[in-house]
Amino acid sequence: MSNNNTTTLSPELVNLLQGEKIVSLVTMDAETKKPNLTIVSWLVAHEGGKVIKFALGHKGTSVTNIQANPEITLGVIGAGSCYSIRGNASISEIIEKTMKYRVVTVEVEEVEDIIFYGGQITSEPEYVKTYNEELAKKLDAEVYEMLKQ
């Protein structure tokens, strides 16, 4: 391991990863065995920096991929840099609320600062939800209650 690798999230990253962030999720495709990239935003890092939980739709490709190979990578832009977070993921049973979800629990194994030499992030990516505002609030409240457990 080089000096910029750790086995836990820093307190700054834990604080950053409390939801409403654009985080890349890389899984291995269950059929082709090639990398698969998607984006998650319902994501919460837990105190201590060893566990991250995020929510997925119950039938998503990422669910199938993680069930076949639990090794995942999360890509995070924020806290002044870019990070690769590798870990081992487990998937919950289907949780039925307003939608059907699965909660993914990631045991953090390696955190690496991957920004290029001399680079520093000066602003984080932002987004807006383009669907019904009341529904968005309801879904967010449900999901974050599940993820913070």
CATH number (domain holding residue 133) = 2.30.110.10
Give the range of the structural domain holding residue 93, as residue numbers without chain letter. Answer: 5-147
Count Cβ atoms within 10 A of the Cβ of residue 87 and give its class: 0-12 exposed, 13-18 middle, 19 or more buried: buried
Q: Average pLDDT of each block of 10 consecutive residues along the chain (149 residues)?
A: 78 95 97 97 96 95 97 96 98 94 97 96 91 92 93
Q: How many CB atoms lie within 10 A of CB 65?
A: 23
Long-range contacts of 137-146 (CB under 8 A, 24+ apart): 138/98, 139/98, 139/99, 140/19, 140/42, 142/97, 142/98, 143/42, 143/55, 143/101, 144/19, 144/42, 144/44, 146/53, 146/55, 146/95, 146/97, 146/101, 146/103
How many domains does the chain contain in total? 1
pLDDT digits (tens, 9 = 90+) for 123-135: 999 999 998 999 9
Structure-block tokens of residue 134: 């009341």
Give the C-alpha separation, 13 to 48, whole Å: 11
What's the pTM? 0.93
Residue 133 to residues 23, 67, 96, 97, 140, Cα–Cα distance (Å): 22, 32, 21, 18, 11
pLDDT given at position 2: 43
